[in-house]
C-alpha cells in the first residue's frame, strides 16, 4: 500500500457530558444511542445509607438489571466491583451482578480479577482485589479475551473507590478492538477517571452522578484531559504505524494508528483505521500471546471493516493488503501459517 500526502485532518476532540441525576431515573428516560456501552461500578451498601443491607442487595441487583436492560443490542456492560464484609461475612458482588444478568438473559463474556494491592497482601477490611465482568446479549460474536485473566495492578486510583487507570484502560481497549462502541456511559461516574481514559482514547462519554461535587470533579478532569491530548498530523501517525507494522512491531503499530483514529473526524477513515488496528492486534495476539482463536477473531473483524472501505482511500490501495491478510487468516485456521506471509502495509519507493 503506497501512501500519498493528504491534508491534515482537524483534531477531533471527543465529546463529554456529565449529568447530575439519579442514575436509574436517567437510564429510564434516556434510551441508549447506537454504539453505546457501559463501564461502571455500582455503589456498595455504605454509599446508599437510606437502605438496610437487604434493601441494598435488592437495589444492587435491580440496578445491574437496569444497566443491562438499557444497552443497545451491540453494546456491552463492564462492571467493576469490590466485595464487602457484612456482619462478618463476605458478600461476593460478582455473584450479585450474575444474578442480574441471569434475569436479563445477558451472557458473561469474560470475568477478570484485578489486584488493588500487590498479590499476597493480607487485607483486614476492604479486599485487595476487585472483580471486572463483561456482559452482552450476544456473547458469541465477541472475543472472551482482553488481556490477562488476573490484572496484577489496578493502576493509579484517584480515590479509594476508583477503578484504577490500568483496569479502566483494559476495559476501554476491549471496547475499542472488539466492539462497535462509540459512546462510553458510566451511570455512577464518581470523579470521572474511567471516562477520562475513554475520552483520551477517542470515545464520546456520558457520565451520571447524584453528587454535584463529583460531577464538578468529573467535568474538570475531562476538560483537562481533552486540553492535553496530542494532535499529531494524521498522515504522520499513519506512516509511523505502517513502518512499525512492516517491522513486525504490531502492538506499537496498533498504538500509532490509534492516535490517528482518535484525531480524525471522517467516519470512513475511522472505520479503515479500526480495521488496521484490529489486524495489527490479531497478529500481536498470534505471535506474542500465542492465542490462535483471539487472532482469528481480530483478523476477521479487521477484514470486515477493511472490506467495507473504498478500494482507494486517502491514496491507499487496499485490495492487495486485504487479500494477503485473508490468506494469512485461512493459513492460521488450518495450521499452515508462516510469518513471512504477513504483507507489508506500506511500500517505500
Same domain, 135 and 64: yes
Same domain, 214 and 238: no
In a domain, 10, yes or no: no
Same domain, 88 and 195: yes
- Domain boundary, last residue among 196, 227, 258: 227
In a domain, 197, yes or no: yes
In a domain, 349, yes or no: no
Residue 211 to residue 189: CA distance in whole angstroms: 10
- Domain boundary, last residue among 227, 252, 269: 227
- Whole-model pTM: value is 0.67
Same domain, 159 and 267: no
Domain extent for 323:
234-341
In a domain, 346, yes or no: no
| Nearest C-alpha neighbor of 48 from the set 163, 159, 245, 211 | 211
Same domain, 45 and 155: yes
In this structure, is the dihedral angle defined by the CA atoms of residues 213, 218, 224 and 227, taken in order, positive or negative?
negative
Task: Say if residues 37 and 250 touch (Cβ distance below 8 Å).
Answer: no
For the chain (349 residues), the mean pLDDT of every run of 10, in chain order, is: 41 72 95 95 90 94 97 95 86 95 95 85 77 89 74 77 85 88 94 90 91 90 70 62 81 80 80 91 86 91 90 70 93 92 69
The DSSP bridge pattern shows strands 16-20 and 204-209 to be parallel
Residue 81 to residue 42: CA distance in whole angstroms: 7
Same domain, 139 and 39: yes
Number of structural domains in the chain:
2
Same domain, 59 and 201: yes
Same domain, 214 and 286: no
In a domain, 5, yes or no: no
19 forms beta bridges with 208
| CATH number for the domain harbouring residue 191 | 3.40.50.150
- Domain boundary, last residue among 170, 192, 227: 227
Same domain, 182 and 296: no
Same domain, 215 and 117: yes
In a domain, 94, yes or no: yes
Quote the pLDDT of residue 316: 62
In a domain, 132, yes or no: yes
In a domain, 348, yes or no: no
Same domain, 90 and 28: yes
| CATH number for the domain harbouring residue 329 | 1.10.3450.10
C-alpha grid cell, residue 190: 464518581
Same domain, 138 and 281: no
Report the alpha-carbon angle 10-1-294, nearest 5.
85
Amino acid at each position: 500500500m503506497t501512501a500519498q500526502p493528504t491534508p491534515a485532518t482537524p483534531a477531533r476532540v471527543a465529546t463529554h457530558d456529565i449529568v447530575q441525576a439519579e442514575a436509574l431515573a436517567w437510564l429510564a428516560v434516556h434510551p441508549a444511542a447506537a454504539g453505546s456501552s457501559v463501564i461502571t461500578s455500582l455503589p456498595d451498601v455504605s454509599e446508599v445509607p437510606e437502605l438496610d443491607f437487604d434493601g441494598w442487595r435488592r437495589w444492587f441487583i435491580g440496578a445491574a438489571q437496569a444497566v443491562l436492560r438499557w444497552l443497545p443490542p451491540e453494546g456491552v456492560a463492564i462492571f467493576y466491583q469490590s466485595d464487602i464484609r457484612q456482619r462478618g461475612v463476605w458478600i461476593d458482588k460478582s455473584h450479585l451482578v450474575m444474578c442480574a444478568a441471569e434475569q436479563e438473559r445477558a451472557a458473561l463474556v469474560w470475568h477478570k480479577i484485578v489486584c488493588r494491592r500487590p498479590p499476597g497482601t493480607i487485607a483486614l477490611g476492604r479486599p485487595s482485589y476487585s472483580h471486572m465482568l463483561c456482559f452482552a446479549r450476544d456473547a458469541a460474536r465477541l472475543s472472551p479475551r482482553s488481556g490477562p485473566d488476573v490484572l496484577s495492578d489496578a493502576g493509579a486510583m484517584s480515590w479509594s473507590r476508583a477503578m484504577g487507570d490500568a483496569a479502566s484502560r483494559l476495559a476501554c481497549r476491549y471496547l475499542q478492538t472488539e466492539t462497535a462502541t462509540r459512546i462510553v456511559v458510566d451511570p455512577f461516574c464518581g470523579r470521572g477517571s474511567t471516562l477520562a481514559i475513554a475520552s483520551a482514547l477517542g470515545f464520546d462519554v456520558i457520565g451520571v452522578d447524584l453528587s454535584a461535587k463529583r460531577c464538578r470533579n468529573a467535568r474538570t478532569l475531562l476538560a483537562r484531559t481533552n486540553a492535553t491530548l496530542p494532535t499529531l498530523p494524521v498522515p504522520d501517525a499513519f506512516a509511523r504505524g505502517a513502518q512499525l507494522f512492516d517491522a513486525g512491531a504490531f502492538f506499537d503499530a496498533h498504538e500509532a494508528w490509534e492516535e490517528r483514529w482518535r484525531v480524525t473526524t471522517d467516519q470512513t477513515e475511522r472505520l479503515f483505521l479500526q480495521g488496521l488496528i484490529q489486524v495489527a492486534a490479531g497478529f500481536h495476539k498470534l505471535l506474542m500471546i500465542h492465542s490462535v482463536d483471539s487472532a482469528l477473531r481480530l483478523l476477521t473483524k479487521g477484514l470486515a471493516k477493511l472490506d467495507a472501505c473504498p478500494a482507494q482511500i486517502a491514496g491507499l490501495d487496499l485490495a492487495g493488503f486485504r487479500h494477503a491478510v485473508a490468506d494469512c487468516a485461512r493459513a492460521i485456521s488450518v495450521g499452515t501459517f508462516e510469518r513471512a506471509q504477513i504483507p507489508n502495509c506500506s511500500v517505500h519507493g
